[in-house]
Structure 1
Amino acid sequence: MQTPTYATPPGGLPPQGQLHTGRAVFTEAYAVIPQGVMRDIVTSNLPHWGGTRAWIIARPLTGFAETFAQYIMEVAPGGGSDRPEPDAGAEAVLFVVEGEIAVSVAGQTRALGPGGYAYLPAGSGWTVTNPGTAPARFHWIRKHYQAVDGIDLPEPVFATETDIAPSPMPGTEGRWATTRFVDPDDMRHDMHVNVVTFEPGASIPFEETHVMEHGLYVLEGKAVYRLNRDWVEVEAGDFMWLRAFCPQACYAGGPGRFRYLLYKDVNRHPALTPGGL
């Protein structure tokens, strides 16, 4: 297995002489937030977090994300939170892209480095700290958990990407594969956060058009992505939001692999009122 790499926001500010021409775009069906706009000036501070700032790259908003919020957290050594989640109904996935964090939940504490994954159930009272000597960066994806009568609540899950064999998509000879951190048939889970990998030259060979909403953060490489009516170039560090039923496809341009962290809502009936649960 190739050693994975994980993009992070550049921070800082561009020089005064830099051109304004860029790739950021916000439409009725999709948005692209390129890595070059994830600068210091657009970070947020959060209540009950110490030594921390966040790039908030998706949030429920009319005409934008409906089912989830996604942050890129940057936590200084010794920083973190003993009450990170303000909403008792929100579940979480953490995915580490730089440094190390320690996550405590249900009486256990786990250390997670790059490629580390944690699923944290709603109401579990989890905490997180940076025990290292360098800043830690990780994705924090939040969603209101949709409980179902007769189905048990999910338990915490900890994993590391490199310990999981990617599942190849049928008929692709492994050139398009997905690393899954939970069983897709486990009906307790109402969201999946996976890592999708394309080898150079691989593609999604049709325009996917489906009910799942997506958040895609490019971890590595580059590609040309079909988003609704447009072909858009994306690279490591870019984020894409795709609303439900936005047509999508891609070609991985090489020379290396193209990989992204993928969020989607799954395993539940659609709400019969827009934005409802």
Structure 2
Amino acid sequence: MGFFLETVFGGLMAGMLYALVALGFVLIFKASGVFNFAQGAMVLFAALAMARFAEWIPKWLGFQSVVLGAVLGFIAAALCMVIVAWLIERLALRRLVNQEGITLLMATLGISHVLDGAGQLIFGSATYKIDIGMPKEPLLVLENMFEGGLLLSKEDLYAAAIAATLVVLLTLFFQKTGTGRALRAVADDHQAAQSIGIPLARIWVIVWSIGGIVALVAGVIWGSKLGVQFSISLVALKAFPVVILGGLTSVPGAILGGLIIGMGEKLSEIYLGPFLGGGIENWFAYVLALAVLLIRPQGLFGDKIIDRV
């Protein structure tokens, strides 16, 4: 039982990281109607910015504090993602207002390649370390209930707490603020939103900035665990089935979808791997997403679209 619970916990923590990346997809689609294929590149670009600024700023200002360097590096990287959002709106989205969804989707593919190239050009292509002070040592719990106790990762617990806090804040922002309601109005109908005075350009900059900061948080956590390398952008591939499972318009769905897929792939690898062969973790998420598409195309929590003719 102890091994089973450790496997479940490990899967839930991996799923939380998938969910953070998926959250960026949901936020941008929810507020602009654009399925952002550049989200993986944004995670990589943000993580590279954080790692390099945390290294450069102490040298520029002449101090040795790792913690202060990480804080200032995070702030600089967040500002960098706001600038990226402004450039995306100014150079791409502004020219594509009211275009077909496929046109916007292809634009995000182009943005993805631009960000990959710009990240390598500006910040370098080596593997970089991010140190934000999260403890690496394991935590032993429930020793009285299970023989040997359960071995959990403190770093995963901190990451889960950060992700949960971010989700709560974003949910409150979308539901309780005027800007959040304006974001949802723009997603429903660009032309109608413009007709009642909602500034489309400013709204898109805001939502892409939020998506960039979410990507930064995800990139920092992944970079802290694994180091910042270009394979981080491939994490977005796991976020696709998470979004399909949870629903393109549901923030809680992105989180729950990530947890289901993270836990499912770990359990299937351990308990079905001996019978089906290894590598189940690589395809489990996509098979599950395909099954959900066949039964409920809008995902478990997505809004059902009804067209009246």
- Please confirm whether the aligned pair reaches a TM-score higher than 0.5, indicating the same fold: no
TM-score where L is the length of structure 2: 0.22
| Structure number with higher relative contact order (C-alpha < 8 Å, ≥ 6 residues apart) | 2
TM-score where L is the length of structure 1: 0.24
Higher strand share: 1
Higher helix share: 2
